[in-house]
């Protein structure tokens, strides 16, 4: 049987991916909304949105770094023989999944937002191009996250022991 990840490992990976994904989306989304509000309030478009979007990206990266540092400490403790709750051989895979999910969710939204802002400035159609393309970016990010989750589910189903009661793999 191919070596994949167990159901427990998949659940941990999915939990970590959701944690990092939501952190990335909320960080970037709040900074983006605040930038758009400042731009509309004080007529500074697109500078406040741009600067705060970058701040949101850095905040999301810092949050991902914090999760990575915690996982690295758990791996180091496990290798030193110190028992840690929840740490297992799938930690590295969990971190990679979490990072991919964060990028898959945030990259399309950011790219489409900035392209929409450029189109609005060229055509004078503000805010419709930005809103339309940001919505399309959100749909693309969500579809990418769904594909990533589906691949994880398929991997877990391929590793699961048969339902007839003979479990060759303990975890």
Residue 136 has pLDDT above 80, yes or no: yes
- H-state helical runs in the chain: 7-42, 47-79, 91-123, 128-159
- Per-residue model confidence (pLDDT) at position 169: 47
Region 64-78: mean pLDDT is 72
Give the pLDDT score at 98: 67
Interval 72-110: pLDDT, tens: 777 677 667 765 555 444 556 666 766 777 777 778 888
3 pLDDT above the threshold of 60: no
Residue 10 has pLDDT above 80, yes or no: no
| Peptide bond just before 127 cis, omega within 30 deg | yes
Residues 6+ apart with CB under 8 A from 7: 156, 159, 160
Q: Which CA distances in Å does 93 have to 10, 55, 119, 157?
A: 9, 28, 39, 17
39 vs 5, more confident: 39
What is the model's pLDDT at position 171? 44
Q: What does pTM read for this prediction? A: 0.50
């Amino acid at each position: 049987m191919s070596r994949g990840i167990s159901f427990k490992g998949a659940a941990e990976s999915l939990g970590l991916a959701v944690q990092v994904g939501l952190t990335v989306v909320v960080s970037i989304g709040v900074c983006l909304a605040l930038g758009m509000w400042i731009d509309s309030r004080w007529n500074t478009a697109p500078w406040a949105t741009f600067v705060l979007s970058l701040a949101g990206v850095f905040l999301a990266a810092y949050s991902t770094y914090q999760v990575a540092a915690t996982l690295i400490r758990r791996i180091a403790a496990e290798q030193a023989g110190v028992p840690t709750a929840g740490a297992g051989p799938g930690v590295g895979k969990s971190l990679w999944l979490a990072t991919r999910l964060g990028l898959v969710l945030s990259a399309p939204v950011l790219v489409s937002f900035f392209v929409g802002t450029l189109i609005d400035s060229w055509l004078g159609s503000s805010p419709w191009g930005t809103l339309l393309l940001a919505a399309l970016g959100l749909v693309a990010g969500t579809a990418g996250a769904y594909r990533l989750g589906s691949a994880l589910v398929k991997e877990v189903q391929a590793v699961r022991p048969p339902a007839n009661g003979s479990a060759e793999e303990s975890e």
